[in-house]
């Protein structure tokens, strides 16, 4: 195998694989990427057995062949080379020679046959989705994904297609048991089949999809085939193994009747929470909201550090309420959108609070209260 390829193309190709390759060495082979030359292109394959990516770039010259080498080492070498063509040459014992002018590197590789069988797909039933919309949906839910591996079905975002107000709508939901995020976005009508029960997309897969979508303008294609989500745009194909399990009936966690609604400037609440939470418990970040006519007081208290208090003037005429929340959960919600104002719905100190951007009723966040 011999390949001559532009440095910028090779660097871009390898850059897409860096977060996918397995760094924990549970299977040492997974720190490698598979390179394959032929038909005028260089293809790269990377997988950690949960998320898999394949892409290709044109070559200037090539002799067909394939080899697997360390993804990180190859990327770091190519990154330091000058602009211009780079030559990759497979040598005896699967070593890979990387040459550019007077620079020569020899990288230990392994036989392509030792690389895991790469997943593939057959489906042609793809749905075209706006990259901007899908990335925004991920942004508004991924922070609520659970880290508790015993409840593996919460280690991802639930994705389903529903009919809402007569429109085809996609919904993403995530919860860790302490908070829940749900976002709906209308999509163009599509007759392409989608699993009626929805699918659970794992956190790492979502991070890789979001990273891929950052470079895309317009639409990308998405399909579900068996236990696999397939995302593609141009030559880039990302395959994510879905979480098998049943997502909880999330609707029952969304409060339906909350009498007290307060509209607060988002930036003001964000800044106040950041300041007051500096003196909260470092692990639980508990802050107290005290509402009375015309004002909201946010306080924190940590015997080892001190206490903090801040007052915000609000348009509120309801009964007095005192309720505790984890400030980190509230900050995650506020950082996930950029509307000018946020609607905060509260009932009493034992009931969950509900947050929405003032201008977007299709995005809802439920936060469980803390004991104060």
DSSP 8-state code for residue 370? B
Q: Could you tell me if residue 47 is inside a domain?
A: yes
pLDDT at 188: 79
Residues linked to residue 99 through DSSP beta bridges, in sequence order = 87, 104
Among 174, 216, 204, 205, smallest CA distance to 332 is for 174
Among 7, 33, 20, smallest CA distance to 241 is for 20
Q: Could you tell me if residue 119 is inside a domain?
A: no
Q: Could you tell me if residue 20 is inside a domain?
A: yes
Q: Could you tell me if residue 122 is inside a domain?
A: no
pLDDT at 334: 97
Tokens at residue 3, please?
Answer: 């390949």
**Average pLDDT of the residues of the chain:** 94
Which of 88, 114, 140 is a domain's end point?
114
Please indicate, yes or no, whether residues 213 and 136 belong to a single structural domain of this protein.
yes
DSSP 8-state code for residue 118? P
Instruction: Tell me the C-alpha distance between 84 and 8, whole Å.
Output: 8
Cα 21 to the chain's mean position, in Å?
Answer: 17
Please indicate, yes or no, whether residues 244 and 218 belong to a single structural domain of this protein.
yes
Each residue's pLDDT tens digit, 287-324: 999 999 999 999 999 999 999 999 999 988 888 999 99
Tokens at residue 232, please?
Answer: 């593609």
Which of 196, 225, 250 is a domain's end point?
250
Rg, the chain, Cα only: 25
Please indicate, yes or no, whether residues 230 and 131 belong to a single structural domain of this protein.
yes
Centre a 10 Å sphere on the Cβ of residue 244 and count the other Cβ atoms it contains: 10
- Chain length of the chain: 372
First to last CA, the chain: 67
Collapsing DSSP states into helix, strand and coil, what is residue 299? Answer: strand
Each residue's pLDDT tens digit, 136-146: 999 999 999 99
Please indicate, yes or no, whether residues 72 and 141 belong to a single structural domain of this protein.
no
Please indicate, yes or no, whether residues 195 and 306 belong to a single structural domain of this protein.
no
Q: Could you tell me if residue 36 is inside a domain?
A: yes
Please indicate, yes or no, whether residues 245 and 264 belong to a single structural domain of this protein.
no
Q: Could you tell me if residue 179 is inside a domain?
A: yes
Find where tokens 């770091």 sit: 76
pLDDT at 256: 86
What range does the domain containing 140 cover?
A: 127-250
CATH number assigned to the domain comprising residue 293: 3.10.150.10
Please indicate, yes or no, whether residues 233 and 276 belong to a single structural domain of this protein.
no
> What is the arithmetic mean of pLDDT over 321-344?
96
Please indicate, yes or no, whether residues 64 and 134 belong to a single structural domain of this protein.
no
pLDDT at 25: 63
Q: Could you tell me if residue 61 is inside a domain?
A: yes
Instruction: Tell me the C-alpha distance between 45 and 118, whole Å.
Output: 8
Cα atoms in the 13 Å half-sphere on the side-chain side of 151: 13
Tokens at residue 104, please?
Answer: 């020569």
Cα 133 to the chain's mean position, in Å?
Answer: 13
Q: What's the structural domain count of the chain?
A: 3
Each residue's pLDDT tens digit, 162-190: 988 777 899 999 999 999 999 999 987 77
Please indicate, yes or no, whether residues 181 and 266 belong to a single structural domain of this protein.
no
> 232 falls in which pLDDT band (50, 70, 90)?
very high
Q: Could you tell me if residue 220 is inside a domain?
A: yes
């Amino acid at each position: 195998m011999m390949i001559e390829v532009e440095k910028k193309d090779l660097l871009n190709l390898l850059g897409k694989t860096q977060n996918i390759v397995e760094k924990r060495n549970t299977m040492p082979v997974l720190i490698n990427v598979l390179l394959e030359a032929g038909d005028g292109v260089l293809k790269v394959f990377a997988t950690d057995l949960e998320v898999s990516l394949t892409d290709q770039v044109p070559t200037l010259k090539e002799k067909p062949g394939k080899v697997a080498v360390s993804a990180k080492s190859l990327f770091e070498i190519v990154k330091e080379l000058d602009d211009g063509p780079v030559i990759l040459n497979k040598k005896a014992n699967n070593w890979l020679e990387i040459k550019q002018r007077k620079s020569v590197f020899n990288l230990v590789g392994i036989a392509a046959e030792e690389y895991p069988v790469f997943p593939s797909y057959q489906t042609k039933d793809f749905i075209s989705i706006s990259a901007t919309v899908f990335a925004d949906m991920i942004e508004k839910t991924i922070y609520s994904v659970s880290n508790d591996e015993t409840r593996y079905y919460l280690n991802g975002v639930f994705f389903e297609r529903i009919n809402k107000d007569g429109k085809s709508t996609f919904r993403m939901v995530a919860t860790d048991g302490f908070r829940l995020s749900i976002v709906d976005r209308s999509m163009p009508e599509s007759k392409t089949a989608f699993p009626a029960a929805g699918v659970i997309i794992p956190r790492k897969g979502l991070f890789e999809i979001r990273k891929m979508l950052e470079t895309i303008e317009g639409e990308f294609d998405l399909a579900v085939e068996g236990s696999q989500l397939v995302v593609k745009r141009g030559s880039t194909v990302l395959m994510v193994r879905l979480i098998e399990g049943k997502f909880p009936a999330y609707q029952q966690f969304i409060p339906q009747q909350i009498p007290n609604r307060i509209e607060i400037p988002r930036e003001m609440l964000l800044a106040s929470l950041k300041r007051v939470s500096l003196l909260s418990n470092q692990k639980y970040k508990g802050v107290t909201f005290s509402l009375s006519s015309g004002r909201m007081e946010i306080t924190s208290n940590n015997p080892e550090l001190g206490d903090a208090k801040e007052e915000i003037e609000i348009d509120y005429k309801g009964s007095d309420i005192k309720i505790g929340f984890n400030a980190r959960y509230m900050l995650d919600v506020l950082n996930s959108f950029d509307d000018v104002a946020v609607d905060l719905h509260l009932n009493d100190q034992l009931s969950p609070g509900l947050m929405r951007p003032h201008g977007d009723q299709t995005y809802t966040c439920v936060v469980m209260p803390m004991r104060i």
